[in-house]
Structure 1
């Protein structure tokens, strides 16, 4: 029987190294907004990142101290709490990270990913897509109206220019053809 067994990913190292590596990766992610690492490490730090952001949304002293213990850098925690106070993750109740797969690493074949913080709110994304669809439709309507309005003007100008060239140089007649020979 294995009492008091710690749950979670071991990541091929002992417990102390795993804890230090996760703390370092979480700190780097908050400092840079995106990091490149292997798939298992990204999946291992995802719950820690979500916890820290949830604590930052609460904003009290106890939550700040818990976040400092999890991240390990007071300046980075201050920045995260400031961003949360400005409402960066206000409309989101979890899922603060996104994992983008890059493919296998050349040397050992490990699956390399980019883990990044999600900055846009889900409501803003939906509203933005609706706005772009409406503006695209309006733009296409106005462009077709402008094309229709511009088309007669260009034909009128070309017809006017043809008439002007005909007036300047008269058409050849039979007499002028005899003179040329």
Structure 2
């Protein structure tokens, strides 16, 4: 007979072990807690939690897989309705094992295995929300850094430098034209004002000299 891959086998064979685990899990789902040996409780725990995981999915395929192990339809219905809704906020750890001492008679170590149907505490809910927010916000800085790196590369590239210099020269050209246009009207009136002022005294002086000459001759 082949040996089990992990731990000791319950019962006489593999089929007997499967039936024992199915019956124990059915009793656990019906009564929410059972008392058994520590060895059976440890072997029952992963089996029962797997059935709870199927119940949380809630689809037809999962229900058929559970019905292949647990033949009682009323227990399966309770598992998919009441227990699945009670543990909806948990990601795992649906059972708890508590040792209660040895059994009288054969001195076998005993334990109580029960379902954890309590609601998730506020602290655990806050931690779960914080982890979800951290995971959702993690790609954002990477994208921003990538965009900033692209912008920095584009700014450092020769094409961007040429465009910047051309833009600066284009901005300087209108400024020079405006300053020249502003200075030109200011110089023109100064030239026109000086010309008549210089010519007028010359004409008056000459006329005065011509008028004085006949008097001197006379």
Higher RCO structure, 1 or 2 (CA under 8 Å, sep 6+): 1
Distance in 1 between residues matched to 2:88 and 2:122, nearest whole Å:
11
Match of 1:52 in 2: 51
Contact 2:83–2:117 (Cα < 8 Å) also in 1: no
Between structure 1 and structure 2, the one with the greater Rg is 2
CA RMSD, 1 decimal: 2.2
Pairs within 5 Å for 1:113-128: 113-124=111-122
1:72 deviates by 2.3
Distance in 2 between residues matched to 1:65 and 1:20, nearest whole Å:
17
Match of 1:136 in 2: none
TM-score scaled by length of structure 1: 0.62
Residue ranges of structure 2 left out of the alignment (5+ in a row): 126-218
> Which residue, 72, 75, 87 being the options, matches 1:89?
87
1:126 deviates by 6.0
1:12 deviates by 4.8
Distance in 1 between residues matched to 2:123 and 2:28, nearest whole Å:
23
TM-score scaled by length of structure 2: 0.52
Match of 1:104 in 2: 102
Contact 2:94–2:115 (Cα < 8 Å) also in 1: yes
